[in-house]
Amino acid sequence: MSIPQSGGGPIEHPSQLAEYLASGCKPADRWRIGTEHEKFGWLTATRAPVPYEGPASIRALLEGLRDRFGWSEVREAGALIGLTRNGANISLEPGGQFELSGAPLETIHQTAAELDTHLAETAAVADPLGIRFMGIGAAPEWRHEDMDRMPKGRYRLMTDYMGRVGTHGTQMMYRTCTVQVNLDFASEADMVRKMRVALALQPVATALFASSPFFEGRPNGHRSWRSRIWRGLDDARTGMLPFAFDDGFGFEAYANWVLDVPMYFVYRNGSYIDARGQSFRDFLAGRLPALPGEIPTLSDWADHLTTVFPEARLKKYIEMRGADAGSRAHLNALPAFWTGLMYDSAALDAAWDLVKGWSAETREGLRIAASERALQGEAAGVRLLDIAREALALSRAGLAARARQDAQGRDETHFLDVLDAHAASGRTQADDLLDRFKDDLPGIYAATSL
């Protein structure tokens, strides 16, 4: 999850909220690819999740990476909660999930090299501690009470609030992992087109990357339990954003939606002030109960934007949020899939043609079907397997058109090979896990090792 935002003075007019989003517009030659992935650490001696404190711990991992590989500390209230280096960040999810938020890079070759470096450095520190990591969408057997809470103020507030709304919020926070990519837009019109394609095709990403068929030690009836969790979390801040397909959608419409999402907190002087359930509109008027008489800054707005969780999220860029974490090949395939669709105009136009006839009910139906049956799901006569094959073909064409080659002369299309294999067979990581380890949960840890 996000770290506190910085920069930006007081908000003097509501138009600044949409203008903040619009400030992300940039020409195509400045578009970049930012990858994020989360992974579960586990103790090889016991298969328990890694605690924050102790000889084999999250803090020991962070300290080792700091001391051996030149990362700089990020602290909150004295606690070591993250690292930063050359535009990249290592941060902690609530249950200790280890997250890399990569630097903005130009090619998938570069994001793959960044991932390789990160995993190699992490293994060099983790292995002597008896810690390994697995790429999977949901913890296969840990219970909520098994998870240690990371020392971050926003997580304390969110944990309590999640317990009051929805049914699955704390499961999301403590027992799921995702992989996502952050991509740029040129203009408001370009943002609208990309947001609509991103939202409509998130169920395809959910299906292709499904890897969470177990929960609390048994099959859970879904291929992506992580996706199911997001449907029972907090309807005020999640979902497929049907209004994004309405005429007139743009930066202002998105800002107005976020304004009506209840707040979690305000960050001041290194501490999180409890504002759970309060209104950012009241904050704009100086009537926020948590800070009476004070008006928000653009940093407060940026923080509030990180507390909404739709399937595709708009900031100064667009986040694709629909996929389970998985193997190294899948962690590389996710940014490749979306970059091919979003960063080539012909591929993006064709992707919109593919989905523009779908109703809100069809899009939501596909979201549900993807979590339950992955590539075998369908809704309103639309089969996810068919759409996945078409979307992958468009993405491959888009990557080929980019013609970004590595030192061996390969373009970026080979990163899609693992997804093409899923589309050819109709099977996903979740199907393989169910077949191979239904009665052997310990085997999942080795099989999903990063």
Say if strands 378-379 and 72-76 run parallel, antiparallel, or are unpaired: unpaired
Per the structure block, which two tokens stand in for 82? Answer: 């993250």
Confidence of residue 157 (pLDDT cuts 50, 70, 90): confident
Read off the pLDDT of each residue in 222-248 and give the average, rounded to a whole number.
Answer: 94
The Cα 69–Cα 80 span in angstroms is: 16
Whether pLDDT at 5 is above 80:
no
The Cα 33–Cα 87 span in angstroms is: 12
Q: Residues 269-286: pLDDT tens digits? A: 888 999 999 999 999 999
Confidence of residue 3 (pLDDT cuts 50, 70, 90): low
Whether pLDDT at 8 is above 90:
no
Out of 36-50, 176-190, 433-447, least confident range = 433-447
Architecture field, domain 15-447: 2-Layer Sandwich (3.30)
Residue 190, SS3?
A: helix
The Cα 16–Cα 362 span in angstroms is: 35
Backbone phi and psi for residue 206, each to the nearest 5 degrees, phi listed first:
-55, -45
Against a cut of 0.85, is the pTM above it? Answer: yes
The per-residue pLDDT for 35 is 98
Q: Which residues contact 271 (CB under 8 A, 6 or more apart)?
A: 77, 153
The per-residue pLDDT for 326 is 98
The per-residue pLDDT for 166 is 60
The Cα 14–Cα 3 span in angstroms is: 24
Residue of higher predicted confidence among 6 and 28: 28
Confidence of residue 173 (pLDDT cuts 50, 70, 90): confident
Per the structure block, which two tokens stand in for 232? Answer: 């029972």
H or E element, residue 422: helix 417-425
Among 274, 267, 277, 257, which Cα is nearest to 165's? 277
Count of CB atoms situated within 10 Å of the CB of 128? 11
Confidence of residue 220 (pLDDT cuts 50, 70, 90): very high
The rounded mean pLDDT for the chain is 95
Residue of higher predicted confidence among 161 and 109: 109
Whether pLDDT at 2 is above 60:
no
Domain edges within the chain: 15-447
How many Å from the N-terminal Cα to the C-terminal Cα in the chain?
21
430, with CB counted inside 10 A (0-12, 13-18, 19+), is: buried
The per-residue pLDDT for 164 is 72
Read off the pLDDT of each residue in 43-49 and give the average, rounded to a whole number.
Answer: 96
Q: At what angle do helices 328-342 and 384-402 cross, to 10 degrees?
A: 80
Whether pLDDT at 131 is above 90:
yes
Per the structure block, which two tokens stand in for 45? Answer: 């001696």
The Cα 362–Cα 344 span in angstroms is: 26
Confidence of residue 350 (pLDDT cuts 50, 70, 90): very high
- DSSP class per residue in 362-399: HHHHHHHHHHHHGGG-EETTEEHHHHHHHHHHHHHHHH
Q: Where are the beta strands (DSSP E) in 115-239?
A: 131-134, 178-183, 214-215, 218-219, 238-239
Whether pLDDT at 162 is above 80:
no
Among 231, 225, 221, which Cα is nearest to 211's? 225
Confidence of residue 154 (pLDDT cuts 50, 70, 90): confident
Per the structure block, which two tokens stand in for 68? Answer: 């051996």
Whether pLDDT at 412 is above 90:
yes
